[in-house]
A and B are shown apart, each in its own frame.
Chain A
Amino acid sequence: MSLFLRTARHLAITLVAMPAVLAAQQTGTVRGRVTEIASGQPIISAQVQVAGTTLGAMTGATGEYVIPNVPVGTRTVIARRIGFAEMRRELSIAPGQTAAADFAMTAAAVTLSEVVVTGTASPTTRRALPNQIESIAGEEVGQAPAATAIDQALQGKLVGAVISENSGQPGGGVSIRLRGTNSILGGAEPLYVIDGVIIDNDSEALVSIGANATRGGAALSNRIADLDPADVDRIEVLKGAAAAALYGSRANNGVIQIFTRRGRAGTPQVSASTEYSTGRTPKKYELVEIPIAGLADTAINTTLRVGQAIERYDVQDDVWRTAHSTTNRLSVTGGSGGTTYFLGSSYQREQGIMRKSDYNRLNLRANLTQQLHPRFDVAVRSNFVRSHAEYIPEGEQTQGVMTGIIFTPTSFNPRFDPNTGRYPANPVLTTNALEVLARYEAPEDVTRFVGGAEGTWRLRDDLTVRYVAGVDDYRREARYLQPPRTQGPNFTGSIQNPVQFSRQFNNDLVATHEWEARPQLTLNTGLGFRYTQDNDEVLRAAASDLPPDQTLVGGAVQSASQARTEIRTVGWYVEERFTLANRLYVTAGLNWDASSAFGESERLQMFPRAGVSYVLSEEPFFRERAGSVLSLVRLRAAYGETGGQPPGAYTRFQNFENTSFAGRAGLVSSTTIGNPDLKPERQREWEVGAEVASFQDRAQLELTYYDKRTKDLVLSVPVAPSTGALRQFQNIGVLSNKGVEIALNTINFNRPALTWRSRLTYAANRERVERLATRADTLVSGYLNAVIEGHPVGVFYGGIYAREPNGAIAYHDTTISGRLWRSLPFRARDTVVVQGARTPVLAQRIIGDPNPDFTMSFLNTFELPRNFELSVLFDGRFGNDVANFTRRITEFFGSDKNVEREIRGDTAVGTFARNPTGRINIYEEYIEDGSFIKLREVALTVGLGQALASRLRARAVSIRLAGRNLYTWTDYSGLDPEVNLFSAQTVARGVDFATTPLPRTFTMSLNLTF
């Protein structure tokens, strides 16, 4: 295409003639104030930009802005703010002079004028985009009450995303699924990018303190938790291949790009805030209280007899606490002479609702931009993070604190025994929960630097070259100390001290060219190159046979190991966008990606995309007939393909593994055969959608339908064992996700006295595993989560009740090991024919689905005069099942409140407790409806008025009262239906097993701007 040649020619000419292009130009300054038209109140964080340049500024607390170094001449200045209609003004800029441009903006529910930069080669307004891209304003994230992590702050704000906080322990542990799960063995979390720098969001457990490492090894934290939500300027979210094709082979799970705050020109503006919050568990376990021994009590203490009077000990109050947390932030922004800066710092101390669990984080940020020349800007961004977490073992760990409590009848008193000088051994799990709380240590420290440099060079008015390079470098040190004799008298203690070093580097070079070919036709061309490199190393040191009081690795038996991975990708992309008469936009692009993890024969992969956006309401015929009713109608359709990296960086090789025999080091061939033809998992997605606005832009409806199909899913496929191997990773699986997303934004009331906005969202996704290695395959992950052809990923698959022909559960009397048990339910059996004989085997059925049928959220904000603002966010998930393993255990081990019925004689003995063949194996019993509506956020902000502010020598003062997860409406019987034992694991989801619930938190904060 001659366009590329044109662009290349321009680039060549301009490079040669560069010094002349960069010769000094004369400039002036634009200055002004942005206010809300009805109330006259300042609008904070509005973007003011000089059209056709990257020059711009953001308004401060007083609504004022300054843009220096604007080239002289007639310029259009545009003011934009989410929730308001875009405004433009023409100005004449004279050399060395200041031109004034004030804007009085009108509230609007329409979002089409926002500029989006993620997933497109050149920045573009939303109206030109053929696909749906969510854009979240910084304050929605930065001011989300008691949200310590960005992903947590996004809960309820993204249509089509299922965002779960997997455990209530502080310090992260959030998983995000955009438009369903798109892999089976690969990761399912989106790609995170900060200011163009790809960053790591690892959730690999270095030590097993939640789920066991053998079951996916997901940690209680994920690395997005390191970033301070207050640094966020805005977030753009690409939810599938149609939008994310530019990210090529890493984008199957979508992309979340976070833009951090930039400096705003002018005198230094200092902001300080201090926040205090208090959290409590929303609920406690209801345990057996009646002081009569039951079957479970006699099982742990053979001197007891059923019916005997005993004492009961519920020690939950020794574990739960009211958590007190503080966050202090200080930031300065300002700039002059072509320099702007934002310096931010924050220090957060967060207590967990379980005693001793704790998290603190120091965040330092410096973002600098320097205009070296009116045509050349550089920006340098850096973020240093230091965090420290104290975790408490939980979940399936027998050392888990809540695990210890649910596994033990309340007739056991775990409190410290002054007579023996020890905590008594737990009669079921050996490890005493209170001793774990008192003596175990599971800290994790992260030291991290995320930084990038960006140069933007407007070679000519129509040609821009941008280069971004960045690193994300961190060290994560975990430690897990289990002191001697705490797991029985023969336990010699153990300490693990793994350290992870992670380094990601990426750079992007992109040239964009704009050409007005005809009066009604503009062509935008983009050419790009991308290189990424991920390095990861884990060093593990461990010791056992510890001397007393040993807290670091050292002891009689020591071991160490090391593992390293590196993945590199290279990509090239081209993009072309045609703009016809400002109403029809056609975009097409191609992306070539190569990765070191792909087999050599499959090295280079191509990912195409194309789309069209048509603003019907711009057509004269439409305006005439329907313009008075519908102020905006836009139709869009997009298609795109992306890839996913295969699991493991080196699965393309036939690797040999270390072994040792008879004292000699040896090597054996891995039983997993290398696959030299391994290629990425490939997703194709098409989506169609529309935006319709009415009532003078005061109501906007967004509709999207998408259809994703991910093929070449890498699965571990059995091979004939006579090859000397057992499995091979092959590109074989197919998975589809289809769904709708609806968002309705309205301004219900807009008067000086009150502006009331609402946003109602609805999203439904249907997931289906289309193909596995063999039709009969059932891949089970975690406990019950299975991957079965024809069903969603992760359905619960397990034992069911034997039932009478009429469907009622069948109860029988039976004798087990010489003991008669009356009226017990049994697990159903199937008859299979093996070797000609009919054999009864335990029946397995699909008994539930952790994926929600649909999700909804409802946000209302009320703005009143005197900077009084109230916002209320409801977040709901519907039709998802939860496997309540906590109840399974509390019932069997006789600590559940239900067991009182058995102790009182209301039901047969063994209905719940200690029945070896009873319902403990009938998983159907423990699948519960996990639908919920949470009152996710409530925030009340009150500006304290100019009089008080000036007394404090401040420009503005406000206080804020807020709450998070204040109330949950659910039928789920456990503590919280949102948690998941297996955290961010791809397949194993919706499992509650002694997992810490999300705290109910109230916060109070004071914000000052100087």
Chain B
Amino acid sequence: MDTTNRATAPGIRTRVARAVAAATLAAVALSATACKLDLDNPNAPTREEIVTNADGIIAVAPGMQGQFAQTIDDYVVTNSLVTDEWGTRSLALISYVSLLTGENFDPGYDIVLTPFSRSYQVILSANTILEGTQNVSLGVATTAGMNALARLFKAMALGMLAQQYQRVPVEITAAGGVPRERAEVLDTVLVLLERARADIANVSDASLAEFRSLALAPGIDLRNTIDAMLARYYLIDGQYAQAIAAADRVNLGVLSELRYPSPTRNPIENLAFQLRYVGGLQSFVNQAEAGDRRPAYWLQTTATTLPANPPDTVLRPLRKFSTPNEAFPLYLPDEMKLIKAEALTRQGPTNYAAAATLINEVRTQTTSAVDEPVAGLPAIPLTSLATEAQLLDQIAYERRYELYMQGLRWEDTRRLGTQRTTTPTFTFLPLPVVECQANPEQPCG
């Protein structure tokens, strides 16, 4: 090695060489330090970031409410097509025709998947909020409001699932949950709702101001909705006293609704007018009592009919939800009266008169301070509402016209089975094919 041949004084070349060597070493050192490989995603926050950050948790609340609001049509489409509410148009998808007629049905259809998958997306958001409120401090009132909101929406999503599918998982697990019997699902719904009620029972409206301004979507009345949902699901579950108690707590003078300011759009309007897939069945108009004002509230009864598929039916364009920014009610005030009427009837003959009175309140309403259908019909003599069958029959009629396209009629035909005017084409939806295939619990056997 000739490394001992050292030059006596560093010449220009040596200096250059030193500089270059230093630069090379610096470059190596620099590139070694620049090698951070755990890069964050600048486009979107991750779950870890959300559940440990107060603002992140709060932002999931509008996200969750929006998910539910944009899923309304999934619940309504199946309900309205398998019962006697809607028909489909020739432009619609083959799966819509299939729901309507019961023919050529395929569990791989999107309409089978979306009510299911989107409900669990709402539930996942609710879980994220419930996890986050334990991690970060939002203050007592806001935490209570957030928990109540998350439990309400989780319950509503599960409740909607219970009305569409026979057995569904009640909790989210990493790979897919174990499907539970309907009774168990309803119990979970009611537990969630009672806990939601308890969450905010001792919190004043004033202290919930921050929660309302940051998290709760305008239009949604949290306390009333929790009670209304309790009434709805206690009735479905057959717990009549609790149903009556809950319905009694609901303030019937206010609405609780999902609002769709631009650029969002009411999904039912989108379906009926933008996509032009659906319309109301003419039979809904024809089978109403003479003088009932409610068909004209829901449908355009004087407009020209729409070409339908199959072609031997006649469709009416919707009147309600015919503009893009119309709100969708989470429940209608008269649903509470009809829930009470039904619960009273089920409790036995001593309550028949009270039930008949409630039915007549619904029938004889001619005006309302809020946007709801009014029947404007004469009262029915109590003698004609004297038996359980007569009462349930009348309740089924009133519910059909009062709660049109609210996603409730399918369940009504199950509960008020003897008073059916329609036989649904399916008793329940099957589980989506992808759930059957991808859930390791093998929910489809």
Contacts and interface: CB of A to CB of B under 8 A. Distances in A.
B217 A664 contact: yes
B437 A718 contact: yes
A5 interface: no
Contact of B62 (A653, A657, A664, A774): A664
Contacts of A739: none
A650 B1 CA distance: 52
Contacts of B264: 660-662
Nearest to A717: B438
A455 B25 CA distance: 12
Lowest 8 A-B CB distances belong to which pairs?
A: A661-B66, A724-B124, A720-B176, A666-B62, A666-B63, A721-B117, A720-B439, A17-B3
Given A722-B172, A723-B173, A20 B27 contact: no
B52 interface: no
Contacts of B445: none
B4 interface: yes
B14 A19 contact: yes
22 contacts: A17-B3, A19-B10, A20-B4, A22-B17, A23-B14, A509-B24, A531-B35, A596-B39, A656-B46, A656-B60, A659-B63, A662-B217, A666-B64, A666-B65, A666-B66, A667-B56, A669-B124, A674-B46, A718-B434, A720-B439, A722-B176, A722-B435
A726 B432 CA distance: 12
B176 A650 contact: no
A658 B36 contact: no
A19 B60 contact: no
Interface stretch (A234-242, A370-378, A869-877, A955-963): A370-378
B61 interface: yes
Given A509-B28, A720-B435, A722-B120, A835 B62 contact: no
Contact of A20 (B3, B124, B168): B3
A662 B62 CA distance: 8
A668 B67 contact: yes
A467 to B, nearest CB: 6
B107 A835 contact: yes
A566 interface: yes
B7 interface: yes
Interface string A639-654: 0000000000110011
A653 B41 contact: yes
Contacts of A655: 41, 43-47
A556 interface: no
B125 A662 contact: no
Contact of B63 (A373, A457, A531, A667): A667
Nearest to B174: A723
Nearest to B105: A835
A784 B116 CA distance: 30
Given A655-B45, A656-B63, A666-B61, 20 more contacts: A13-B1, A17-B3, A21-B3, A372-B20, A565-B43, A650-B43, A655-B41, A656-B44, A660-B66, A662-B260, A667-B60, A667-B63, A668-B67, A669-B125, A721-B435, A722-B172, A722-B177, A723-B172, A725-B121, A835-B107
Interface in A1-53: 13-24
Interface string A425-452: 0000000000000000000000000000
Contacts of A16: 3
A724 B43 contact: no
A986 to B, nearest CB: 23
A507 B41 contact: no
Interface in B106-161: 106-107, 113, 116-117, 120-121, 123-125, 127-128
A668 B435 contact: no
A414 B54 CA distance: 60
A467 B24 CA distance: 7
A183 to B, nearest CB: 22
A723 B439 CA distance: 9
B21 interface: yes
Contact of B39 (A24, A568, A666): A568
B172 A19 contact: no
B438 A718 contact: yes
Contacts of B437: 718, 774
A721 B438 CA distance: 8
B158 to A, nearest CB: 11
Given A659-B63, A666-B61, A667-B56, A721 B31 contact: no
A566 B65 CA distance: 33
Interface string B12-54: 0110111011001001100100111111011111111010000
Given A663-B261, A665-B59, A666-B59, A722 B169 contact: yes
Contact of A654 (B16, B46, B117): B46
A605 to B, nearest CB: 12
A465 B259 CA distance: 68
A726 B69 CA distance: 19
Contact of A570 (B37, B219, B258): B37
Contacts of A823: none
Which residue, B45, B56, B168, has most C-beta atoms of chain A within 10 A? B45
Interface in A816-850: 834-835, 839
Nearest to B11: A24
Contacts of A654: 46-48
Interface of A: 13-24, 372-373, 376, 378, 455, 457, 460, 465, 467, 469, 507, 509, 529, 531, 533, 563-568, 570, 594-596, 600, 603, 649-650, 653-671, 674, 718-726, 774, 834-835, 839
B172 to A, nearest CB: 5
Contact of B13 (A22, A509, A603): A22
B5 interface: yes
B212 to A, nearest CB: 11
Given A19-B14, A24-B11, A658-B44, A663 B20 contact: no
B104 interface: yes
Which residue, A16, A19, A726, has most C-beta atoms of chain B within 10 A? A19
Contacts of B128: 669
A378 B20 contact: yes
Interface in B415-437: 430, 432, 434-435, 437
Contact of A600 (B21, B38, B60, B120): B38
A23 B264 CA distance: 75
Contact of A376 (B17, B46, B121, B438): B17
A570 B218 CA distance: 50
Interface in B245-304: 258-261, 264
Nearest to B215: A664
Contacts of B172: 722-724
Contacts of B31: 507, 509, 529, 531
B354 to A, nearest CB: 38
B175 interface: yes
A455 B443 CA distance: 64
Contacts of A722: 116, 120, 168-169, 172, 176-177, 435, 439, 443
Contacts of A595: 37
A839 B175 CA distance: 33
Contacts of A721: 113, 116-117, 120, 432, 434-435, 438
A921 to B, nearest CB: 14
Interface in B175-206: 175-177
A234 B51 CA distance: 55
Contacts of A15: 21
Contacts of A596: 37-39
Contacts of B177: 722-723
Contacts of A376: 16-17, 20
Contact of A594 (B13, B16, B37, B173): B37
A659 B62 contact: yes
A662 B39 CA distance: 33
B169 A667 contact: no
Contacts of A839: 104, 106
B17 A19 contact: yes
A722 B17 CA distance: 66
A18 B45 contact: no
A595 B439 CA distance: 31
Contacts of B47: 653-656, 669, 674
